[in-house]
Structure 1
Amino acid sequence: MSFHEVRFPTDLSFGALGGPERRTDVVELTSGHEERNSPWAHSRRRYDAGLGLRRLDDIEKLLGFFEARSGQLHGFRWKDWADFKSCKPSTTVAATDQAIGTGDGTATGFQLVKAYVSGSASYTRPITKPVEGTVVVAVAGVALTQGTDFGVNAATGEVTLTTPPANGAQITAGFEFDVPVRFDTDHVHVSIATFQAGQAPDVPVVEVRV
């Protein structure tokens, strides 16, 4: 799959509608009970990049981005303003935000993840598109230095430590991240309302697996 490591303009994505979706197969039994099953291990997110009444310069920016991605052909990064940090939106990213692994004395590679917890239930989401320069890492609570103690692949979300953590040592990380997406349409309808403003009301975007 072709993916462009470029982010959709954040001034255009701010205020967009969207969020996670799940696929659940529901079978209703003759007794009235249900059997439910999901073939998806991970949720997928959908957004609407459409613009309400905006300056023509904003419309031009949207069209330029769409054309450069060749419609649905190339994926790109999307900032989900409701969920783009390893911590709560109101707090600052810290190296102890998320547990990403436990040392065994040998392994040095660890995937960034984010845990969503509600009561006794939880979901762990792989993070594959961290924002470069925002990742901080700690081993057993001790902060590491990027470039010296660890490196980050911004295209995959894998953290590589210089030295294997000791057996049982917890590896944690904090970060900002984007969602890998593509346009879910090959056409964009634009309406010019005035000589200075227009709108593109429906531009669907869907998360892709990378």
Structure 2
Amino acid sequence: MGFHEVRFPTSLSFGSAGGPVRRTEVVTLANGFEERNTPWAHSRRRYDAGMGMRSLDDVATLIAFFEARQGQLNGFRWKDWADFKSCLPSETVAATDQNIGTGDGSTQVFALRKRYASGTEDYERPITKPVDGTVRVAVDGAEQPPVAFGVDAVRGLVTFILPPSAGASVSAGFEFDVPVRFDTDQIITSVSSFQAGDVPDVPVLEVRV
């Protein structure tokens, strides 16, 4: 599968519906108790891009984007307006938002991730598509200048020029996109129905990259 490093038009993704999907296998035992398991370590997000269509010009933009991706063939970036920052949506990205590792004096490359916590449980989500120019990094709480590190915006990796010292906390703040593809090879539109308030069904599904 190919992946195009281009973002779906944000004017169209704004207003779309969607969110994380988990896969849980539930087996009910004879005594009424359940056994629950999941084959997925990470959730996959699913969206409906059709919800963001507001005019026939929007539909034309959607079709052009769809054709350029050749339907399901090539993936692309998607801005999830409900979850696109390392911090809360109402806050400003800071270099101390997310802990991404601990220095050992030799490791120079750290993978971006975002932690979701509730009570005593949490989940760490790999961030593979940071938005170029938004990544801020700190070592032991001290923000590092841009010349001290590089960012691979295609894979979500931060590479330090000099490795953080042993025991040093490494953190990062960033905006990010979700790697997705269209989950259909067909888009059905109707001028008359759209003017009546109907919108096309355009499913979009997160992919592993």
Given that residues 59 and 200 in structure 1 are in contact (C-alpha distance below 8 angstroms), is that contact kept between their aligned partners in structure 2? Answer: no
**TM-aligned CA deviation for residue 191 of structure 1:** 1.2
- Spell out structure 1 runs of 4+ moving beyond 6 A: 194-198
Paired AA for residue 11 in structure 1: S
Contact 1:77/1:178 (8 A) holds in 2: yes
The aligned counterpart of 1:142 is: 142
Alignment of 1:84 with 2:78, yes or no, is: no
In the alignment, which residue of structure 1 is the partner of 2:124?
124
- Structure 1 residue ranges without an equivalent (≥5): none
CA deviation after TM superposition for structure 1 residue 56, in Å: 1.7
Instruction: Give the partner amino acid of 1:129.
Output: K
Structure that is richer in helix per residue = 2
In the TM superposition, residue 145 of structure 1 has moved relative to its aligned partner by 1.5
| Aligned match of 1:166 | 165
**Under a length normalisation based on structure 2, what TM-score does the superposition of the two structures give?**
0.96
Q: Tell me what 1:186 maps to.
A: 185
| 3-state SS, counterpart of residue 54 of structure 1 | coil
CA contact (8 A) 1:22 1:44 kept: yes
The 2-side partners of 1:110 and 1:56 are apart by 44
Cα separation, 2, equivalents of 1:77 and 1:41:
22
Structure 1 position 201, deviation (Å): 2.1
| Unmatched 5+ stretches in structure 2 | none
* Residue identity in the other structure for 1:145: P
The residue number in structure 1 matching 2:5 is 5
Q: Deviations over 1:57-92 (max 9, x none)?
A: 111000000000000000000000000000000100
2: CA distance, partners of 1:198 / 1:107: 55
Q: How much has 1:20 moved relative to structure 2? A: 0.1
Partner deviation per Cα, 1:151-202 (whole Å, 9 max, x = no partner): 0000000000011101000000000000000000000010103898985420
Supply the distance in 2 between the matched residues of 1:199 and 1:64 (Cα, whole angstroms).
20
Q: Displacement of 1:55 after TM fit?
A: 2.0
Does the CA-based 8 Å contact 2:16-2:52 persist in structure 1? no
Which secondary structure state, in structure 2, belongs to the residue aligned with residue 80 of structure 1? coil
> Where do residues 1-210 of structure 1 align in structure 2 (5 Å cutoff)?
1-51=1-51, 54-146=54-146, 148-193=147-192, 200-210=199-209
- Separation in 1 of the partners of 2:145 and 2:186? 45
Q: Report the alpha carbon displacement of residue 19 of structure 1 after superposing the two structures with TM.
A: 0.1
